[in-house]
Structure 1
Amino acid sequence: MCERRARLRAERLLEHARMELTAANQRLKAHAFSLSDQIIEQRAELQDMRSIAQELEGVNTQTAQELRQAHCVADLADIRLREAIETITDGFAVFDSAQKLVLANQAYLSIFDGFSEVTKGIGYNRILEICAYEGLVDLHGTEPGDWVQSMLARWALAQIKPHEMHFTNGVSVRLMDRRVPNGDYVSLVRNITRSLRYQAQLIDAQTQAEAAVQAKSVFLANMSHEIRTPMNGVVGMADLLAETNLNNEQRIYAETIRNSGQALVTIINDILDFSKMDAGKMDLYPEDFDLEKIIHEVLTLLAPAARGKSIELILDYDIFLPRHFKADPGRVRQVLTNLIGNAVKFTETGYVLVRAVGVHKSEQAQLVHITIEDTGIGIAAEHLEHVFSEFQQVEDATNRRFEGTGLGLAISKRIIELMGGSIWLESELGVGSCFGCSLHLDLAADAGHSFPPPLPSALHQVLLVSDHLISRSILERHFQSARVKTLTATQAAPALRLLGQHKIDLVLIDQDLTSDDAAQIAGMIEQQAPGCPAIMMCSAMADHAIPAGAGGVRHALPKPLLWRDVAVSICATLTPEQPATHAQPTLAVPLAPRNPAPDQKLLTVLYAEDNATNRLVFSKMVQGLDLDLHFAVNGREAVEKFTELRPDIIFMDISMPEMDGREATRHIRAHANGRSVPIIAVTAHALKEETEKMLSAGMNGTLTKPLRKADLLDAISRHSPAP
């Protein structure tokens, strides 16, 4: 029993031990599985770590390669920068914020050859001291210490200004310094030696060019004087010869000489004007003038040339356009003479129409358009852009029919532009041309319209006999503005029919009718309507052979017509008992009669002139006047004769031996009795500045050679003392 119990207890213990062993095995197995899982996980982590390590090792290798490549690029850039800086011909340097040299190219350092301390790390102040105290820089009398301080103070400025330095070896530089944001200084030393040398050469060339221009001007002025002096004899004598009794052939010769001489004088004037424009010395001299009168005077001047070709000259001045403006009338006249003269020259038949209209008006100025229309040869389209160029001619030089320098239009264009205007051209080959200019003209103080005198109240209906459409329409427009009805006819039969059908107060007859004779029409009108007054419009007053009152013709009007003259003539025709107060006075020289009264003395005239031909021309021009004429051959003799004669008027040549005209004028003005005597300069110098010198010397006016008789008589009339 005991054994059994012992056995059962042993079995139970064995079973319990077996169970514990099984449990321990289970735990050991679970722990083994756990360790296995940990090992697997750690192996995976280790593998990941190895992968990361391998990746990092690749990144480090790439970074190291990139870093080595960046160092290479930086080294290459530094080499290139240094090479680029070295290739700069100008000096280049960099200083740090402490003004110590960081780098500099050879061009900068070459100035300091022989000074080994000028290298990296040297201070800017020490560089300045070497320049100043070692005599490298021309200090222009400044003390070296003061110069160094001024240069250091320059770098202390907020904005460092450029500075020029001149080294004693002949090199000149311009310092251009900048302060960069990190405090460093960058200095560029520009070598300006060649620039200064070139600038000096330019100044020298400019001086020589100005001297050449001055010499050219003096040469042209002298040549003008030398040519005008003999031309005074040629033109003056031809003018006097034309007034004598000549047959037709002789008169043609005399007029040819005169016209050729005047053409030569015109060429001289063009060359002088072009020379002044080329030198930029043309000035304007504004004064009050009558624009309508100037246009009419130019047309009148060109009327003989137009009459020789049967060209109708027509003036159409806007009724509502003021007449009085302020500008340079001489230059306006010159432009008009060139443009209208060209129109007459290049027109063989037809008409030349000058039209002036106002485009825009303000309180002080008026925009005026002046057009010159002709029926001439016209200009081809390919030549239009060259017309206003210098020395240009529309015709080929080998077959040219019209002479000229080719300067007139170029000069006109420059004058118009100088006056602030513009000039243009429209043309068609074989049809004609239209030149136009636009000017802003200041209104004169009395710039009212200055209307012509009102037409007589008895004038209600006018018969206009003319076959020129444009001239006829212009007159009709003026009559319409005066509330006068106009009937027109182009031939005798229609004119006589209208005369029988209507009450006509006045007849205007154009002398240049195509199909009928104007004088015969005047006679027919007188027969059909006795007492009906008529006015003849004549292109050639010398050909108007109808005596006053014959054929009913009371007055003759010269063409081209000026409306104010037409109005004055109508007033004088219809109201002859009333003086025509608006009529323009004719030249009336206030001279003593040919047989003066005992208490009336002759006008004493003294003419100082060293050229015998000019003295002869002068004496012949005044031959018909009652003058006590005396001559002096130089300025000294003029002063002596003034003291002796006490002349009423003196004509003084400018260029004379011993004493010139200006000096003689000063001597006469210094005399007690010479302060009021009129002294007129007679000169071959046509330049404006020469005229100003004459007037400043005390002269009252000027006459330019070659003398024109009309100008001489006008000067005597205007400057002679009152009787």
Structure 2
Amino acid sequence: MKFVGDPGRLRQVLTNLMGNAVKFTAHGHVSVRVVGVVQNGESADIRLTVEDTGIGIPEDKIDHVFGEFNQVEEASNRNFEGTGLGLSITRRLIEMMEGEVWVESKVGQGSCFGFRLRLPVDEPHGADAPCLPPNLTCALVVSEQSANCSILSRQLGLLGAQTTFCSNGAEALGLAVAPPDIVIVEGAVPDMPVADLAQALATSGCAAPMLVLSAEASVLMAQGLPPNVCRVLQKPVARRALFEALEAIVTDRASPTAPPEAAGPQKARLHARLDVLVAEDNKTNQLVFRKMVQHLDLDLRFADNGIEAVAAFRERRPDLVFMDISMPRMDGKEATHEIRRIEGDGPQVPIIAVTAHAMEGDREVIIAAGLTDYLTKPLRKAKILEMIDRYGATLPVADTG
């Protein structure tokens, strides 16, 4: 839902509370929770809390922390510096917005700062309701962080999914005996790499797709992951992004790999194993491309730059080339020019440009450089399959007798 308020001041309050929590939390976690209750469709009581597992505040000092230039003078607090103005400003801002601010804390266990406001509603209740993926009733979550498990439990509960939690890979393999609809890995797995867990689950007969939530998503993807890892999301993950990923995973598995009208020619050509060369210098993009076409029967080769692409062409002529335009050492246009020179007057292999440039006139420049067609980044599965079907289906199929 959307509300009417002062975003600048609310951002300042949240920054103060989160900064204070992070400052005094050396181990554990800091979590932010927002809940609201709509009143008669016109306003809502909004409650926001910032909880940490830091050093905590003595009970007789709690009221003291909201005073100007005040800080709790304790031995455990002397390693942390600051003026003590942040919480005082926070209280004044919330009170000016006719709200209430509070704190609960225990020494050595952490603190929970929160505030409550009533804000007018800017759109109808239910406008931000989650999409409910079909066939998602049971989820297995692997995470060693109890706070993150709690958050995921509530989020998956909104989808009507029953959730089973475990803290490591060994437990996950034991629980996967009754296969879930999806496996969600939250963070690093303490006893094995994510790729090893995915492979072990697949080997054990668990066919459930895997969704990985990682603070190092790009690094993880660049390392290469088994096919049952369907999505890797960068933490922190917004609730809407999580729901969209779940819906996409479940929908992809429930849908046929190709629309009926395209299945005929694509199946006929790919039965002869289309040889596809992909020139792309970004390892992550290589991994994404591989996953998008993993269900097709292809001979898939990769080149890291234009020089390697030309060498791969000389070694074995491909049926189709996807050519990144911007690459080191030799770019896509230069590589295409060299390939066309090698082909001479003979038949030309279809070369599909893959580029981040999508300005008016770019297509004409790319086609003039000798390329057959082009796609714009970011890569889209439907467009890649369309190109493979369009240009792969026009190639002659070897006579098998």
Q: TM-score, normalised by structure 2?
A: 0.59
CA-to-partner distance for each residue in 1:500-524, whole Å, 9 max, x for gaps?
2x13221101223444443322221
Task: Say whether the 8 Å CA contact 2:55–2:76 is kept in structure 1.
Answer: no
- Of the three residues 18, 40, 47, the one matched with 1:340 is 18
Question: Residue 324 of structure 1: SS of its match in structure 2?
Answer: coil
Is 1:560 aligned with 2:264? no
- Of the three residues 377, 387, 396, the one matched with 2:65 is 387
Is 1:401 aligned with 2:79? yes
1:29-48 correspondence to structure 2 within 5 Å: none
Is 1:371 aligned with 2:49? yes
- Of the three residues 197, 200, 215, the one matched with 1:524 is 200
- Of the three residues 471, 474, 477, the one matched with 2:148 is 471
Partner of 2:324: none
CA-to-partner distance for each residue in 1:76-125, whole Å, 9 max, x for gaps?
xxxxxxxxxxxxxxxxxxxxxxxxxxxxxxxxxxxxxxxxxxxxxxxxxx
Task: Say whether the 8 Å CA contact 1:465–1:488 is kept in structure 2.
Answer: yes
Task: Say whether the 8 Å CA contact 1:525–1:551 is kept in structure 2.
Answer: no
Shift of 1:334: 1.3
Task: Say whether the 8 Å CA contact 1:324–1:447 is kept in structure 2.
Answer: no
Task: Say whether the 8 Å CA contact 1:510–1:518 is kept in structure 2.
Answer: no
- Of the three residues 30, 33, 39, the one matched with 1:352 is 30
How has the CA–CA distance of structure 1 residues 436 and 325 changed in structure 2, closer, same or farther, with 3 Å as cutoff?
A: same
Letter in 1 for 2:154: R
Question: Residue 369 of structure 1: SS of its match in structure 2?
Answer: strand
How has the CA–CA distance of structure 1 residues 492 and 390 changed in structure 2, closer, same or farther, with 3 Å as cutoff?
A: same
1:615-694 correspondence to structure 2 within 5 Å: none
How has the CA–CA distance of structure 1 residues 598 and 505 changed in structure 2, closer, same or farther, with 3 Å as cutoff?
A: closer
Shift of 1:388: 1.5
How has the CA–CA distance of structure 1 residues 336 and 367 changed in structure 2, closer, same or farther, with 3 Å as cutoff?
A: same
How has the CA–CA distance of structure 1 residues 417 and 511 changed in structure 2, closer, same or farther, with 3 Å as cutoff?
A: same
Partner of 2:166: 489
How has the CA–CA distance of structure 1 residues 547 and 379 changed in structure 2, closer, same or farther, with 3 Å as cutoff?
A: same
Shift of 1:436: 0.9
Letter in 1 for 2:212: M
How has the CA–CA distance of structure 1 residues 365 and 472 changed in structure 2, closer, same or farther, with 3 Å as cutoff?
A: same
* Alignment partners' CA distance in 2, 1:554 and 1:329: 36
Question: Residue 163 of structure 2: SS of its match in structure 1?
Answer: strand
Question: Residue 565 of structure 1: SS of its match in structure 2?
Answer: helix
* Alignment partners' CA distance in 1, 2:122 and 2:38: 16
Shift of 1:439: 0.5
Partner of 2:314: none
Shift of 1:536: 0.6
* Alignment partners' CA distance in 2, 1:418 and 1:514: 46
Partner of 1:361: 39
Letter in 2 for 1:432: G
Task: Say whether the 8 Å CA contact 1:376–1:431 is kept in structure 2.
Answer: yes
* Alignment partners' CA distance in 1, 2:38 and 2:120: 12
Letter in 2 for 1:559: K
Partner of 2:108: 430
Letter in 1 for 2:145: H
Is 1:573 aligned with 2:240? no
Task: Say whether the 8 Å CA contact 1:325–1:447 is kept in structure 2.
Answer: no
Question: Residue 561 of structure 1: SS of its match in structure 2?
Answer: coil
Question: Residue 245 of structure 2: SS of its match in structure 1?
Answer: helix
* Alignment partners' CA distance in 2, 1:549 and 1:475: 23
Task: Say whether the 8 Å CA contact 1:519–1:546 is kept in structure 2.
Answer: no
- Of the three residues 186, 191, 200, the one matched with 1:510 is 186
Letter in 2 for 1:325: F
Question: Residue 102 of structure 2: SS of its match in structure 1?
Answer: strand
Task: Say whether the 8 Å CA contact 2:29–2:147 is kept in structure 1.
Answer: no
How has the CA–CA distance of structure 1 residues 595 and 359 changed in structure 2, closer, same or farther, with 3 Å as cutoff?
A: closer
* Alignment partners' CA distance in 2, 1:592 and 1:532: 37
Task: Say whether the 8 Å CA contact 1:421–1:437 is kept in structure 2.
Answer: yes
Question: Residue 343 of structure 1: SS of its match in structure 2?
Answer: helix
Question: Residue 556 of structure 1: SS of its match in structure 2?
Answer: strand
Task: Say whether the 8 Å CA contact 2:43–2:121 is kept in structure 1.
Answer: yes
**RMSD after superposition:** 3.1
Shift of 1:554: 1.4
How has the CA–CA distance of structure 1 residues 445 and 463 changed in structure 2, closer, same or farther, with 3 Å as cutoff?
A: closer
Is 1:537 aligned with 2:228? no
Question: Residue 325 of structure 1: SS of its match in structure 2?
Answer: coil
Task: Say whether the 8 Å CA contact 2:35–2:47 is kept in structure 1.
Answer: yes
Q: TM-score, normalised by structure 1?
A: 0.34
* Alignment partners' CA distance in 1, 2:195 and 2:247: 22
CA-to-partner distance for each residue in 1:635-692, whole Å, 9 max, x for gaps?
xxxxxxxxxxxxxxxxxxxxxxxxxxxxxxxxxxxxxxxxxxxxxxxxxxxxxxxxxx
1:182-197 correspondence to structure 2 within 5 Å: none
* Alignment partners' CA distance in 2, 1:377 and 1:351: 12
How has the CA–CA distance of structure 1 residues 354 and 545 changed in structure 2, closer, same or farther, with 3 Å as cutoff?
A: same
Letter in 2 for 1:477: R
Shift of 1:325: 0.9
- Of the three residues 104, 113, 132, the one matched with 1:454 is 132
Shift of 1:445: 3.2
Task: Say whether the 8 Å CA contact 1:324–1:448 is kept in structure 2.
Answer: no
Question: Residue 401 of structure 1: SS of its match in structure 2?
Answer: coil
Shift of 1:538: 0.8
Between structures 1 and 2, the one with greater helix share: 1
CA-to-partner distance for each residue in 1:173-212, whole Å, 9 max, x for gaps?
xxxxxxxxxxxxxxxxxxxxxxxxxxxxxxxxxxxxxxxx
Q: Which moved more, 1:547-556 or 1:434-443?
A: 547-556
Shift of 1:548: 6.0
Task: Say whether the 8 Å CA contact 2:179–2:207 is kept in structure 1.
Answer: no
CA-to-partner distance for each residue in 1:377-401, whole Å, 9 max, x for gaps?
1122343222112222335799843
Task: Say whether the 8 Å CA contact 2:195–2:226 is kept in structure 1.
Answer: no
Letter in 1 for 2:66: F
Query: With CA pairs under 8 Å and 6+ residues apart, which has the higher RCO, 1 or 2?
Result: 2
Instruction: Report the structure number with the largest CA radius of gyration.
Output: 1
Partner of 2:274: none
* Alignment partners' CA distance in 1, 2:54 and 2:42: 38
Question: Residue 29 of structure 2: SS of its match in structure 1?
Answer: strand
How has the CA–CA distance of structure 1 residues 437 and 533 changed in structure 2, closer, same or farther, with 3 Å as cutoff?
A: same
Shift of 1:598: 6.8
Task: Say whether the 8 Å CA contact 2:144–2:167 is kept in structure 1.
Answer: yes
Partner of 2:297: none
Question: Residue 117 of structure 2: SS of its match in structure 1?
Answer: strand
Question: Residue 393 of structure 1: SS of its match in structure 2?
Answer: coil
- Percent identical pairs in the alignment equals 37
How has the CA–CA distance of structure 1 residues 482 and 544 changed in structure 2, closer, same or farther, with 3 Å as cutoff?
A: same
Task: Say whether the 8 Å CA contact 1:359–1:368 is kept in structure 2.
Answer: yes
* Alignment partners' CA distance in 1, 2:146 and 2:111: 19
Question: Residue 357 of structure 1: SS of its match in structure 2?
Answer: strand
Task: Say whether the 8 Å CA contact 2:44–2:118 is kept in structure 1.
Answer: yes
How has the CA–CA distance of structure 1 residues 360 and 324 changed in structure 2, closer, same or farther, with 3 Å as cutoff?
A: closer
Shift of 1:432: 0.8
